Structure 1
């Protein structure tokens, strides 16, 4: 098992991405971590643009992020009571699992969920996957420049063609405007925007019919209300939670925002659900367990049954994932169907994707050579997706022979149903000899002489198409 210190470092890096320096290029297989409102600036590094770029094994880069859904299992929360003694369950007896993690390629596990799409639109704008709309429809953002979304498109994986859904305009007279998180509702699609290059506490909201059309600006907010974290939409209102906790509502027809009583300390998960842990904001206690879900439509509170020895428990409407030592625990919200997942310990996303699936990093390291260097399986997948309904685990992402590769999730507001990567993207290590005399030295030290080898790793290739896994195409009983 991997050292827990590395996982702690990953969490620290994720928070540090907010304060990283400016971008130095794009990472096509990575997804954009939502621009943190606390920093209030546009500057982002590749680290921040990717969410978090994690070095594992022989230098594999894995893009991490959390964002919408639109899928998963319903909202049934009934089940048998959990055994409070929590014995280590044999996964071979739980939903078809095996004592050791068996990771087959996703093309073999869920072939109907896998497709390839172009990485660019016909006009050259780069696509960034958002989430699935159905088993065969993907919602994409088309970007005119780095992180500058200019329109929404729908890609039909069966017909293999895209359709423009809506333009994403900036409000008149607002400079430095960038659309942010997009959320899909039953009838509408909404997003919010801000001006991250300045210190204004300001945000606005837009709506367009799910069938497409002209986007309409709903309204704007300032001050603490503008610290938007996640958004949701119903037939008549847009909802959002703020970083400090609490949920607001604004009518789609326009009007002043209103705070929803009883939502103190709550954060949107995926409409209509809110929970009592923040959505990965800087300083969040990652080891804290989620204790409840709150239904904003009905007012129903669902208690989460968290074992005493589990930490970092995060739940969708039905399924939860947490850590027990160096292993992952999966259970239903009431504690039933609880089991351990040997071999899957490093969660790439804390909240279940599409409300149901666990997403894990795989190191690919199989041992060490005589010099102590790690030996990595170049054919191992970069990450794994676990389905608690069937107990099946699917490998995603392509690891290149040099130990590189990237995989990301869609950029929707609530946890996405999309995982994607660029199979042709590779990391190339290049080295050259440089004169060390050019290396700065303190006045007290003698000037260095001679030459030294300087190496750097860059990404090359790719940019033509993405391989996409749409979890909405995985039947809930398959």
Structure 2
């Protein structure tokens, strides 16, 4: 996987409920999950109905139980685990097909002739915001894979260069105007610490900070690093253990690294080094983007935000979700929410409840909607009807997802469907809401099948051993890996 990928591909013969049950059975023996696992599970193109929206949230909840890690809004699990085995191969989903009769299968027919999906009218981001869309290489000059983090300006992108899966070795800046790249800093990690992985980074006015952990060791330990925004040699600020090391988000002020922890509460440590200090009055708060914090954590998939706090002044702004709204999240001006379990449509409104609007054809992503500058990121409905078996029929010409700018009301499609129900996109891995969305237009979904012994297929430990032969199919992504198409939110004008 490259980046925090939210992709899609058909799953043959299994529903999300089956996946949830299988994951639950594996909970006791599953190793620490890596950052992109939920994004990988969402690689199946999420059908835009209430049933499938609820299933995605159920899968997210099960994964959180399995890993005991932190589920986060912008990349799922923040603790990168590196080379070790994970619960499932994130780039492929296998399913068994029971042989059926040789009779003719029903021919899919739309419920209404000529019906188009609501998302079919969404124009691509390159047409809506041409100055904000560009191509960048997917690999560094020495072949390391890039993982986009966030944008530094309208033309500069901050990237992590990884020598192996999730093993970042340096930070680079790519300029989309000059098509040049510059090394910002090496990210070697502390000497003598085994199993170390750089985690989320964040950008301040003068500095870039990040933290690292040893996620596969079971230790409650983390350290923090800083480098000038102009580049240079990275310097370790300090180390923490215990609850203080259960880092959920990180940021930087003029003189301190700041972070929030899983259970709520915000700490800081001087950039010059020193003892960590808990910021008073932050019980239950989670860092959004310095100096702002909220009362919802990134495991709170269905909890609505009720306040936004300025940590410099400790001024609190009340947030009131409209009746029936769940997973209500606010940036600095705009909020997004979705209906209850019976209605997953997206609603946008200002923090004071004014300028409310419903966004037809868009569906919430379970608390991962809010990006930098209060942009929203949503799934798009591609359903045009049902076939004779009651299965949904999708229009694969619709975009994989959509970006919404509440300041201008503009909507743009992102990602590219491969015409087979597959397609995907990534979002930057910064701790603060990211300003980068990207995808690989050359990736495609492929499906391969073979006849195997039914007893060789994975199954719950308490399930009976099947006999005979069965058809096993694997849906995976292949191709691509040369360049990304990137949408830089900092390059989008905020006027009509």
TM-score between both structures, scaled by the size of structure 2: 0.78
Residue correspondence of structure 1 range 140-159 to structure 2 within 5 A: 140-159=159-178
Q: 1:161: how far off? A: 1.7
1:141-200 residue CA offsets vs partner (Å, 9 max, x unmatched): 000110101100000001112111000011011111000000000000000000011121
C-alpha distance in 1, partners of 2:414/2:315? Answer: 36
Gaps spanning 5+ residues in structure 1: where? 22-30, 56-99
1:352 equivalent in alignment to 2:377: no
Per the alignment, residue 468 of structure 1 pairs with 486
Per the alignment, residue 343 of structure 1 pairs with 361
Instruction: Give the secondary structure class of the aligned counterpart of 2:59.
Output: helix
Q: Give yes or no for contact 2:48–2:380 (8 Å, CA) kept in 1.
A: no
Distance 1:333 1:433, change over 3 A: same
Which of 232, 244, 247 matches 2:263? Answer: 244
Q: CA RMSD in A?
A: 2.9
Gaps spanning 5+ residues in structure 2: where? 1-46, 68-73, 96-117
Per the alignment, residue 109 of structure 2 pairs with none
C-alpha distance in 2, partners of 1:127/1:346? Answer: 28
Instruction: Give the secondary structure class of the aligned counterpart of 1:350.
Output: coil
Per the alignment, residue 293 of structure 1 pairs with 308
Distance 1:45 1:463, change over 3 A: farther
Per the alignment, residue 410 of structure 2 pairs with 392
Distance 1:165 1:452, change over 3 A: same
Q: Give yes or no for contact 1:319–1:352 (8 Å, CA) kept in 2.
A: no
Q: 1:446: how far off? A: 10
Q: Give yes or no for contact 2:82–2:165 (8 Å, CA) kept in 1.
A: no
Q: 1:12: how far off? A: 2.7
C-alpha distance in 1, partners of 2:429/2:466? Answer: 49
Q: 1:437: how far off? A: 7.6
1:401 equivalent in alignment to 2:447: no
Per the alignment, residue 176 of structure 1 pairs with 195
Q: Give yes or no for contact 2:150–2:435 (8 Å, CA) kept in 1.
A: yes
1:9 equivalent in alignment to 2:24: no
How many residue pairs are counted as aligned between the two chains? Answer: 415
Q: Give yes or no for contact 2:222–2:245 (8 Å, CA) kept in 1.
A: yes
Per the alignment, residue 109 of structure 1 pairs with 128
1:35 equivalent in alignment to 2:108: no
1:162 equivalent in alignment to 2:181: yes
Instruction: Give the secondary structure class of the aligned counterpart of 1:343.
Output: strand
1:65-95 residue CA offsets vs partner (Å, 9 max, x unmatched): xxxxxxxxxxxxxxxxxxxxxxxxxxxxxxx
Structure 1 stretch displaced more, 200-209 or 321-330: 321-330
Which of 379, 393, 396 matches 1:378? Answer: 396
Q: Give yes or no for contact 1:347–1:358 (8 Å, CA) kept in 2.
A: no
Q: Give yes or no for contact 1:349–1:358 (8 Å, CA) kept in 2.
A: no
Q: Give yes or no for contact 2:78–2:200 (8 Å, CA) kept in 1.
A: no
Distance 1:445 1:278, change over 3 A: closer
Distance 1:258 1:42, change over 3 A: farther
Instruction: Give the secondary structure class of the aligned counterpart of 1:347.
Output: coil
TM-score between both structures, scaled by the size of structure 1: 0.80
Structure 1 stretch displaced more, 346-355 or 258-267: 346-355
Distance 1:353 1:32, change over 3 A: closer
1:323 equivalent in alignment to 2:338: yes
1:433-463 residue CA offsets vs partner (Å, 9 max, x unmatched): 3355867999x999844x4322111211111
Q: 1:474: how far off? A: 0.7
Q: Give yes or no for contact 1:41–1:197 (8 Å, CA) kept in 2.
A: no
Residue correspondence of structure 1 range 64-79 to structure 2 within 5 A: none
1:135 equivalent in alignment to 2:154: yes
Distance 1:363 1:174, change over 3 A: same
Per the alignment, residue 222 of structure 2 pairs with 203
Distance 1:152 1:437, change over 3 A: closer
C-alpha distance in 1, partners of 2:85/2:243? Answer: 22
Per the alignment, residue 187 of structure 1 pairs with 206
Which of 324, 343, 355 matches 1:309? Answer: 324
Q: Give yes or no for contact 1:183–1:231 (8 Å, CA) kept in 2.
A: yes
C-alpha distance in 1, partners of 2:275/2:141? Answer: 40
Distance 1:417 1:118, change over 3 A: same
Q: Give yes or no for contact 1:291–1:304 (8 Å, CA) kept in 2.
A: yes
Residue correspondence of structure 1 range 44-63 to structure 2 within 5 A: 44-45=86-87
Structure 1 stretch displaced more, 248-257 or 377-386: 377-386
C-alpha distance in 2, partners of 1:115/1:233? Answer: 29
1:258 equivalent in alignment to 2:304: no
Residue correspondence of structure 1 range 75-94 to structure 2 within 5 A: none
Structure 1 stretch displaced more, 316-325 or 135-144: 316-325
Q: 1:361: how far off? A: 1.0
Per the alignment, residue 26 of structure 1 pairs with none
